[in-house]
Amino acid sequence: MDTYRWTRAEVDLDALHHNLEQFRIALGPDIKIMAVVKANAYGHGAVKVAEEAIRHGVEYLAVAFLDEALELRHFGIEAPILVLGYTPAAGVEVARNRGITLTVFDDDVLEAAASQHPTKTLNIHVKVDTGMGRIGLTDEQDAIRFVEKALKTPGVAVEGLFTHYACADECDKTHVTEQYRKFARIADHFQKQGISLKYVHAGNSATGIDTPDYTRNMLRLGVSMYGLYPSEEVNHERVRLKPVMSLKSGVVMVKRLPQGSTVSYGANYATAQDGETIATLPIGYADGYSRLLTGKAEALIRGKRVPVVGNICMDQCMVRVDDGEVEVGEEVVLFGTQGEETVPVEELAAKLGTINYEITCMVSHRVPRVYVKGGRVTEFDNPLLHFTNEKSIRS
C-alpha cells in the first residue's frame, strides 16, 4: 500500500452495494436512483464510489458544483452527471462539451446557452424552491413560466425538474407534505399539458426511507448510500444500512509514565498513577479527527475502548491503555468496528454537536482511502503520493 503512515479510511464496497440494494428493494423498479457523490462522495472517494454505483446499475450521478463533475469526467466517468448547485453562465460551454447536466433557475444560463450557437445540446434540470429557502424558483407561476421558456430555448433540453426537502428526516411530516404538494402542482401542470420531463425528482435518503411516495420517479441517494441514517427519527427498520467507512490508525509509540506526568499541549492531562500506559497515534485534527473531541472521544484497541487523552494535535493524538497491553504497530479504530465493539460516527457527531455525515466529510484528503471488497483490499488511493510509484513500509 502506498503510504508511510499507519492512518487510513477504509471504505467497504460490499456495504456500499448492500445499501444500494436495500433502496432498490424499498423503492421498487419504477424509481431510478441518482447517486450523490458530492464532497468527494461524503469523504469516501468520489471516483471509486461513482464507479461502484454505476456498476450496481445507478443511472445518474450528482455533484455540488461543476468542478466536481469535471473531476469525474477526467477520470473516465461517462455516466450522466447533474450539478446540483449554481453554475455561472461562464460554465455553460464546458458543461455542454463534457456532457454535464446543469441545475438552472435563472435567465443568465439560458441566455448563455442560446447565444453560443451550439452543435451539442445542454441538458438542464430546473430547480424549484418549495420551502428550503436556498436556490431555485419560489413562486409556482414563475417556475412554470421559466420551464416553458427553457423548453423554447435553442440548444437547451429540459431533462428534469426537482426540489429538495428541508425536514424529510423528521417525524413530523407536515413541512415535507406541504413542499411535496407545491412541487406536485408544478410537475402535474406539465404532465397535463402533455409535456414529458424525463426526470422529476424530489426524494432524498430520508424520503426514500419514510415517504417514498414523495419521491416521484428518481431518488437522490446521498448519506444513506454510505450506510448512515439521515437522523434518529427516520424508520431504521424499513431500510437496513451498513456503514461504509471506518477510520483507522496504528500505534507508533508506547510509554509508561510516572504519576503526574502531563500529556500534550497545555499540559491539561496528567497521569493518575505510576506506570500509566500512553500510546501515540499518527492522526490528528488536520486529518479530520477534530480537536474538539479532546477529552470526549474513545478509540478501539484489541476490541476494547480506550480514552483519547490530552489535547488532540494537528498530526497526532494519544490514548490511555488501562490494561497496559499494547504494542507498536497495533491497529486502532477511531470510528468503526473492531472485534465485538463499535464506535459509530453518530457517537462522535453527538460529542461535536453535529450530524453523522459531517464526520465522514471531515476526513481530509491526506488520509489515504483503502477500498475493501470481499474482505480484501482492492484499491489504495493516497493523493499525496500520486506523483510517485514508491511503496510503503507496510503492505
Active site residues: 38, 265
Q: Is 281 left (phi over 0), alpha (psi -120 to 50) or beta?
A: beta
Residue with C-alpha cell 444500494? 20
Question: How many CB atoms are located within 10 Å of the residue 180 CB?
Answer: 25
The answer to whether the annotation marks 240 as part of a ligand binding site is no
What the block records as the C-alpha cell of 324 is 497496559
Q: Residue 134 annotated as binding?
A: yes
Q: Kindly list the distances between the CA atom of residue 323 and the CA atoms of 247, 279, 320, 326, 332, in Å, as whole numbers in the listed order.
A: 23, 12, 9, 8, 15
Whole-angstrom Cα distance, residue 228 to residue 239?
Answer: 11
Residues contributing to the annotated binding site: 134, 314
Residues contributing to the annotated binding site for substrate: 134, 314
